[in-house]
Structure 1
Amino acid sequence: VAMAEAEEQPLAMVTCTAPVNIAVIKYWGKRDNDLILPINSSLSVTLHQDQLKTTTTAAASRHFTEDRLWLNGEEADAGHPRLQSCLREVRRLARKRRGGTGGGTSEDSAPLNLSYKIHLATRNDFPTAAGLASSAAGYACLVSALARLYGAEGELSGVARRGSGSACRSMMGGFVRWHRGERPDGRDSLAHQVAPETHWPELRVLVLVVSGEKKQVGSTAGMQTSVDTSPLLKHRAEVVVPERLERMMRHIRERDFEGFGQLTMQDSNQFHATCLDTFPPIFYLNDTSRHIIALVHRFNAHHGCTKVAYTFDAGPNAVIFALADTVPEFLEVLRRSYPPAANGDQ
């Protein structure tokens, strides 16, 4: 973290990283599009940042004339409503903190002038819109960087949620639950860690990149169509998910991979069933995705128990859960099914 020294800082800069999270009980559908409030609670696993992460550098200066944003080196729209919403919220928290510490509420006397324009540079080390929860890591990273830049404190998962719903789950490591909440203002729709990353050290995650291409139907548009047209989604949110969440938390608490793996696959399948129940239907899985599903079931049948589990978000890429001692054997099966020579040596 580098900060220029001055009575009123002419430039301040902060760099943060944030992880990807993979939902095992899926979020799909909003009850409020502006505040990004979900129709059901969800539960996710935060992935290690060694392989998959977003890095964001945020800078504020009196010399900047407008807010600017760069994504993976290309300039993007800094006026995006969700980005501006996060910026407003972080500034509000910073203002509140300064007011509460007797530092005066005048922006001009602040350590960093809150009216300075912002420059943001974000880089993902994975496909941005291919269903690898890039917006979750992106907005979690953005909010963390802005909060450190402005010295904002408080409940940041709710701020990250305003950028991308699932971003609130990337604010924490381990196993994280995003509560649906009941309040219309969304104050109780927050993320909480249900178990730390140290809780289940044998758990491993494999990400199988089936396609790095941008998906045809984005999550925001897709879930709105589902909310409008799918009776199955309504049943899922009201009846199925509450019971599954309790069960999933029990499996995680007890480190029961059989239960965890089965329920993860069932919930992924039901999520994609609601996409099919949407009108017109949405297809996120492709032939390779379906082949991986069949492969996992064959592998488990061969062993007579659940050794590996798949889950797919809104895209064709598979995320595989397994315990450490299963990984070498399953990787060998994958290599036989998808020989490196036929797969761009990947």
Structure 2
Amino acid sequence: MADTKIYKASTTAPVNIAVVKYWGKRDAKLNLPTNSSLSVTLSQADLRTLTTATCSAAYEGQPDSLILNGEPSDITGARTQACLRELRARRAALEAADPAAPKLSALPLRIVSENNFPTAAGLASSAAGFAALVRAVADLYALPSSAAELSRVARQGSGSACRSLFGGYVAWRAGSRADGLDSEAVEVAPAAHWPEMRALVLVASAAKKGVSSTAGMQQTVATSALFRERVAAVVPAHMAAMEAAVRARDFPRFAEVAMRDSNSFHAVCADTYPPIYYMNDVSRAAVRAVEAVNAAAGATVAAYTFDAGPNAVVYYLEENSAPVVGTFHALLAATEGWKDSAAAHDAAAVPLDDATAGLLRAGIGRVIQTAVGEGPIPTDQHLV
């Protein structure tokens, strides 16, 4: 009788938000970046993808399938197939070395995934999604691969996904090899090294981006003169300074580099022809609010950063929750997503000018209070 057992493995994977941005590819097929990047992995209690990977002889004759947030999703794309092809090859090598091992590599896959945050809205959904997919299939196949090895696989699905294979503070080394074997993620410091790091995500738009990251990168590489300076000088300096700031737990330095790099990234997008504008008036109001908080504190206690979207991510340390959380909560108390403790900080709110306050009240639809967190976590919560 044929083995109709359903083999399964599930994992959760985190969102990461870069403080030194990845933008531009030197090899689109392998997703090799033009520059290194560094990110903070965020807590899965607040932002995570849960993915279950299954395979079975009972699925014979059926194609691989993927269900994302309850809806069928295309699994035939080149990026997803590149990940699955490499994972299957690694499993096949195990099976060749052990004739008794179940021949899972030849079985159809059914993958089900769900996010607890908006997809394709500038919240790194593809990073968490591909990290969870790769980790879940690797666990399904019982691959003895390290997180660094799997980061090279996940990178082929989504560049920033390689960083979501780790927790804490993570660098993606751009590498120089044509085959991409030195383009992988590494842990700069675990979450426990600097656990006081907090993040407040201000969701300015949950709509799908007008210009995808992939298309935007191609336009920038082809047309921006500022981009060449960013790759050659700006990012290397920012990477060195950011890694030093993380290791020293130096928040003012961390904050300055994060804000300067975000500004540099969006300047490059604006220098693209035709220009790309991911930030909007609400985004710029969030920048002014952070500047007001820092001015009132007489020190740098908050840092803004923006990925390829309008949503602001504000980093701060737990000890400075009162002025940071208080300023935004006092303004946006009716907005969805606040934790119960937020209201306690209202008395420390920094006054904002009417124009800034009005834009934020009208334009922020959701907030997410979160913190630095861990990498992928296996779970017995199966979606299949």
The counterpart of 2:91, out of the listed 89, 94, 103, is 94
Which residue number in structure 1 is paired with residue 136 of structure 2?
145
Q: Which runs of 5+ in 1 are unaligned?
A: 1-5
Give the Cα separation in 2 of the matches to 1:230 and 1:320.
Answer: 28
1:136 counterpart = 2:127: yes
Which residue number in structure 2 is paired with residue 256 of structure 1?
250
Report deviation, 1:112. 3.9
Instruction: Report Cα offsets for 1:119-139 as digits up to 9, x if no partner.
Output: 111101111011000100000
C-alpha contact (below 8 Å) 1:12/1:60 kept by paired residues = yes
1:83 counterpart = 2:77: no
Give the Cα separation in 2 of the matches to 1:196 and 1:58.
Answer: 27
Amino acid in structure 2 at the alignment position of 1:200:
W
Flag the 1:339–1:202 CA change in 2: closer, same or farther, 3 A. closer
Report deviation, 1:63. 2.4
C-alpha contact (below 8 Å) 2:16/2:39 kept by paired residues = yes
The counterpart of 1:56, out of the listed 39, 51, 60, is 51
Give the Cα separation in 1 of the matches to 2:225 and 2:4.
Answer: 54
Give the Cα separation in 2 of the matches to 1:80 and 1:10.
Answer: 28
Report deviation, 1:7. 8.6
Residue 16 of structure 1 aligns to a residue in which SS? strand
Give the Cα separation in 1 of the matches to 2:329 and 2:180.
Answer: 46
CA RMSD, aligned part only?
1.7
Q: Which runs of 5+ in 2 are unaligned?
A: 336-360, 368-384
Flag the 1:9–1:234 CA change in 2: closer, same or farther, 3 A. farther
Residue 277 of structure 2 aligns to a residue in which SS? coil
Give the Cα separation in 2 of the matches to 1:272 and 1:153.
Answer: 40
Residue 280 of structure 1 aligns to a residue in which SS? coil
Give the Cα separation in 2 of the matches to 1:26 and 1:97.
Answer: 37
Which residue number in structure 1 is paired with residue 270 of structure 2?
276
Give the Cα separation in 2 of the matches to 1:93 and 1:286.
Answer: 44
C-alpha contact (below 8 Å) 1:94/1:153 kept by paired residues = no
1:219 counterpart = 2:232: no
Amino acid in structure 2 at the alignment position of 1:178:
W
1:73 counterpart = 2:64: no
Q: 1:1-346 maps to which residues of 2 (within 5 A)?
A: 8=3, 10-64=5-59, 65-99=62-96, 102-104=97-99, 110-154=101-145, 155-340=149-334
Instruction: Report Cα offsets for 1:228-278 as digits up to 9, x if no partner.
Output: 111111110111111211111111111110100011001001100010000
Report deviation, 1:200. 0.7
Residue 191 of structure 2 aligns to a residue in which SS? coil
Of 74-83 and 20-29, the range deviating more from structure 2: 74-83
Residue 128 of structure 1 aligns to a residue in which SS? coil
Greater relative CO, 1 or 2 (CA 8 Å, sep 6+): 2
Report deviation, 1:185. 0.3
C-alpha contact (below 8 Å) 2:197/2:318 kept by paired residues = yes
Report deviation, 1:176. 0.5
Percent identity over the alignment is: 50
Give the Cα separation in 1 of the matches to 2:234 and 2:223.
Answer: 18
Of 136-145 and 317-326, the range deviating more from structure 2: 317-326
Which residue number in structure 2 is paired with residue 3 of structure 1?
none
Residue 304 of structure 2 aligns to a residue in which SS? strand
Give the Cα separation in 2 of the matches to 1:233 and 1:92.
Answer: 37
Residue 104 of structure 2 aligns to a residue in which SS? coil
**TM-score normalised by the chain length of structure 2:** 0.84
C-alpha contact (below 8 Å) 2:79/2:157 kept by paired residues = yes
